[in-house]
Amino acid sequence: MRKRIYPRESYGNVNSLYPKGLPIRFLYAHNHLPPTVPIIINVNFYQTWVDILIWNQGPFFDLQGKLAELTQQNIDPLELESDRGLFFMDKLTDELDYIRVDADRNCLKMRKFLTTHR
């Protein structure tokens, strides 16, 4: 019998992050690049957290600025068609960042801390 390391509810939160993050990479960073330019996805499991790293090429995107802009608007995030994924990523993660790695590479970093069963 396999022992579950993380509680079932933690998996739901982590599984929700990947489908939100990848379309955002296409929408904001990759939409002007040829389809042959790769997007690399790393999912790293640690004892108390999961990191999802989505690497892409293209222009930098000011994630924190866009999140600030969205929170200042008096609009229900569920009514936003293209930006609601950003809102969900921000609410579902414990840490969310988008960094410029070098001259043309970026990384969307999502971290979710997990609670463990004892």
In a domain, 1, yes or no: no
In a domain, 31, yes or no: yes
Question: Are the C-beta atoms of 41 and 25 separated by less than 8 Å?
Answer: no
In this structure, what CATH number is given to the domain that contains residue 67?
A: 3.30.565.10
Q: How many domains does the chain have?
A: 1
Q: What angle do CA 44, 28, 16 make, to 5 degrees?
A: 40
Question: Are the C-beta atoms of 54 and 22 separated by less than 8 Å?
Answer: yes
pLDDT value at 5 more than 80: no
Answer positive or negative: Cα dihedral of 53, 28, 16, 115: positive
Which domain, by its residues, includes 41? 8-113
pLDDT score at 41 = 87
- Position 54: which residue type? I
60-73 pLDDT, tens digit each: 889 899 888 888 88
Q: In what side-by-side order are the strands of the sheet with 105-113?
A: 40-45, 49-57, 105-113, 95-100
pLDDT score at 44 = 93
22-47 pLDDT, tens digit each: 555 555 566 677 878 888 889 999 98
What band does 1 get if pLDDT is binned at 50, 70 and 90? very low
Residue with more model confidence, 109 or 86 = 109
In a domain, 103, yes or no: yes
Rounded Cα gap, residues 4 and 84, in angstroms = 32
What band does 79 get if pLDDT is binned at 50, 70 and 90? confident
In a domain, 105, yes or no: yes
Please tell me whether the overall predicted TM-score, pTM, comes out greater than 0.75 for this model.
no
